[in-house]
């Protein structure tokens, strides 16, 4: 796919997706939604990629939907194949077999924030500003954010931010757990790259896939018994894999691991590990 609103690059087992409409402060459009969907699915299907970074060119990460773009966003809610635009980004991110790191500078509001909630790490610049501004526009949260945000920061904070729609800074985001770490703007991309390289070089891809997807699934289960049942399966499976032997050997030999597992092929096909449309 030829991209017009984003760029997509791979190097050193890292896929880097960059929002690339700086002249519009990376305003979100239908085209961007579909291109992000294609890029995420492409990264997931590329066995050379172990980590995904999502970042943005220019002064701002994404100021929300480009209201001047003229893109129609209304579809048929009774059509099971239609997804609202932000879900086209969030759904593949939730189900991705690769960890996702988001680097946020400047403004990240509306869909510019909600579409990042399915990622595993959100790094922010010290001048970043955030806002779930939907109620102040007569809109509603999207990208599954009414489920995802309370999982990350708790119900009380999610209600405060979403009902008031107020703008808050990087320190407040970090204190609430929305942001993993805060960095000077000029060091943000380097910090995201360093984290991605650490994961790519030290973490077994199949383990990362099962953990990131399993944690999200377990968040929706009612009690620890669901996790105990899962553990019976995952631990039994894990002790049969070459990655376990390599992980132990590399630790004992004090050397970097050389994991060979391929997440796309070797993530166990447990029913609990797959989300289905309702």
Identify the pLDDT of residue 222.
Answer: 67
Give pLDDT tens digits for 171-222.
999 999 999 999 999 999 999 999 999 999 999 999 999 999 989 888 877 6
What pLDDT is recorded for position 265?
A: 79
Low-confidence ranges of the chain (pLDDT < 70): 69-77, 222, 270-278
Q: For the domain covering 6-200, report its CATH number.
A: 3.90.226.10
For the domain spanning 204-273, the CATH number is 1.10.12
| 120, 178 contact by CB (below 8 A) | no
pLDDT computed for residue 206 by the predictor = 93
Closest CA to 98 of 121, 76, 114: 121
Q: Tell me, what's the pLDDT at 71? A: 57
pLDDT of residue 81: 73
Quote the pLDDT of residue 46.
96
Neighbours of 225 (CB within 10 A): 9
Residues 57 and 21: their CA atoms lie apart, in Å, by 7
Alpha-carbon span 150 to 156, nearest angstrom: 8
CA–chain centroid gap for 117, Å, is: 6
The predicted model scores a pTM of 0.90
pLDDT score, position 267: 79
Q: Where are the domains of the chain?
A: 6-200, 204-273
| Distance between CA atoms of residues 143 and 155, nearest Å | 17
């Amino acid at each position: 796919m030829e991209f017009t609103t984003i760029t997509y690059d791979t190097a050193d087992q890292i896929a880097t997706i960059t929002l690339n409409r700086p002249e519009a402060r990376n305003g979100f459009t239908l085209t961007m939604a579909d291109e992000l969907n294609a890029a995420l699915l492409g990264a997931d299907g590329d066995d050379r990629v172990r980590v995904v970074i999502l970042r943005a060119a220019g002064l701002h990460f994404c100021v929300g939907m480009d209201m001047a773009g003229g893109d129609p966003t209304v579809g048929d809610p009774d059509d099971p194949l239609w997804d609202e635009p932000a879900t086209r980004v969030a759904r593949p991110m939730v189900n991705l077999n690769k960890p996702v790191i988001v680097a946020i500078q400047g403004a990240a509001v509306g869909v510019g924030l909600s579409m990042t909630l399915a990622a595993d790490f959100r790094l922010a610049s010290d001048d970043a500003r955030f806002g779930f501004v939907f109620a102040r526009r007569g809109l509603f949260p999207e990208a599954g954010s009414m489920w995802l945000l309370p999982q990350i920061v708790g119900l009380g904070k999610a209600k405060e931010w979403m009902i008031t729609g107020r703008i808050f800074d990087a320190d407040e985001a970090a204190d609430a757990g929305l942001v993993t770490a805060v960095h000077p703007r000029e060091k943000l991309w380097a910090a995201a790259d360093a984290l991605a390289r650490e994961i790519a070089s030290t973490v077994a891809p199949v383990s990362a896939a099962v953990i990131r997807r399993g944690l999200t699934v377990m968040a929706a289960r009612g009690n620890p018994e669901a996790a105990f049942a899962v553990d019976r399966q995952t631990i039994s499976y894990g002790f049969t894999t070459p990655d376990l032997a390599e992980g132990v050997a590399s630790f004992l030999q004090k050397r970097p691991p050389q994991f060979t597992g391929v997440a796309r092929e070797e993530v166990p096909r447990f029913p609990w590990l797959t989300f289905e449309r309702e």
